Amino acid sequence: MATESNLAHNDQPNPGRRDFLYVATTAVGVVGVGAVAWPLINQMNPDASVLAMASTEFDLGSVEEGSSVTIKWRGSPVFVRHRTAAEIEEARAVPMGELKDPEEDQARVKEGHDQYLVMVALCTHLGCVPVGDSGEFGGWFCPCHGSEYDTSGRIRKGPAPKNLVVPPYQFLSDTVIQIG
């Protein structure tokens, strides 16, 4: 066919130059597609109003010794417990061999602030909120499937695989913490 013969590739005066044009244009096109695709995917990432809630400050002064408070952080509940000396001692006396998820109590609190325990209040089994001051280990008991946590929030009995998660937090002052 007449048009087919017009498409013969070797009648270009400079085939190398032709190829460069096509390669360069394709490369520019690919960059364009990527530049368009990224924002369309990135829009699904947490938006500015969600990220603004990424950290929460809390004043520990309101938590009396021997009591717990549940606050919200990144949409999840967080236990803040002001432990008594007895609770701390009990936690420190547990041998590592007895723990499903061995962790020293000291590793779960901040130095100099051992009385404050901050943990994400979701059972590490399937995510239910455990009940405080219950269970045979003096800590928390999860009603869903019977997991029991001790006075350091570590798993002692039941199907949960890990200790209650300690979120990243820091003391901004003696009484104010910032979680996240």
Site for other proteins, rule CB under 8 A = 1-3, 6-7, 11, 18, 21-22, 24-25, 28-29, 31-32, 35, 39-40, 42-45, 47-50, 52-53, 57, 72
Distance CA 113, CA 8 (A): 81
Q: Taking the complex as a whole, how short is the minimal distance between the CB of residue 104 and other proteins, in angstroms?
A: 34
Sheet holding 68-73, edge to edge: 68-73, 76-82, 116-120
Q: Cα–Cα distance between 87 and 177 in angstroms, integer?
A: 21
Q: From the CB of 57, what's the least distance to other proteins, in Å?
A: 8
Closest to other proteins by CB, 28 vs 86, is 28
Query: Measured between alpha carbons, how far is residue 170 from residues 105, 140, 174 in Å?
Result: 17, 24, 10
Beta carbon of residue 35, minimum distance to other proteins (angstroms, whole number): 7
Select 55 or 115, whichever has its Cβ closest to other proteins: 55
CA dihedral 98, 101, 103, 107 (to 10 degrees): -150
Please say which residue, 52 or 96, places its beta carbon nearer to other proteins: 52
Catalytic residues: 145
